[in-house]
Amino acid sequence: MPTSPALLDPQARKVLDLGRQAHEPPFETGTPEQARRAYNSGFLGLQGEREPVASVCEQIIAGPGGPLNLRVYRGQGAAAADAPALLYLHGGGWVIGNLDSHDEICRWYANIAACVVVSPDYRLAPEHKFPAAVEDCRAVLSFMRDMSGGLGINASRIAVAGDSAGGNLAAVLALLARNDKCPPTAQLLFYPNTDAAQTAESYRRFAEGFGLTAATMAWFRDHYVRDAADINDWRVSPLKANSLAGSAPAFVAIAGHDILADEGGAYARRL
């Protein structure tokens, strides 16, 4: 049964009200480029002043599909060498989002954990469908290990994290890298989408009125996958992996009124 947004915390309702006041059409009614412009305008407008960090620099590495842009944050209090690191993968349904949309949260993590945060501008769909984003994220993790000395980080103390589609990519990366010489030390998954079938009960309970709608999520997925067979590939739907054994210790946060709640909870229970 659908749930009413009236049950939300007042602060959460305020955020939804701000979104409605922008009068932007749903992403699925336009093109990906239109969705990106609307997202950048609305999301960046909600961010406050940039939190100071010890340093921020841009880097370009050779990615699987060409040059890959990274933003590297060194948090206040982070060691100059051998610091712990976090690979943060932005959300946005694999279609929207960029280095600027998640700049604020990367700065916060760098400072709160006194670590180095690396944020990649991985390739987006539909211009670059699955597995492009996965391949880019894998390449960045390898770069962080191989160039740990130059980055001033400890290759054996790298965690992976992400929100929504970024949480999906972080979960997949933790599985792909579980047998590496230096696997991720932890995975932080914030309301991750883990099952592209999108059949969980939360898709019906929170289909509309809670920000991310079921229709928008289907639009994101259909731009990301190459065909219906990809939906059952565990690199798209990590919940469908035969085994999660050996994946990094995890922190999984889900939102109570969110279409992704059930699949995120199911993934946490399997871990």
Whole-number pLDDT of residue 42:
77
Confidence band of 16 (pLDDT split at 50, 70, 90):
confident
Give the model confidence (pLDDT) of 114-134 as tens digits: 999 999 999 999 999 999 999
Whole-number pLDDT of residue 14:
84
Distances (CA, A) of 26 to 58, 97, 187: 32, 16, 31
Classify residue 117 by its DSSP letter. Answer: E
| CA dihedral angle for residue 21, residue 18, residue 163, residue 139, rounded to 10 degrees | 60
- Domains of the chain, with CATH numbers? 5-270 (3.40.50.1820)
Confidence band of 268 (pLDDT split at 50, 70, 90):
very high
Residue 68 pLDDT > 60:
yes
Give the model confidence (pLDDT) of 252-265 as tens digits: 999 999 999 999 99
Whole-number pLDDT of residue 12:
85
Look up the pTM and report it. Answer: 0.95
Give the model confidence (pLDDT) of 235-255 as tens digits: 999 999 999 999 999 999 999
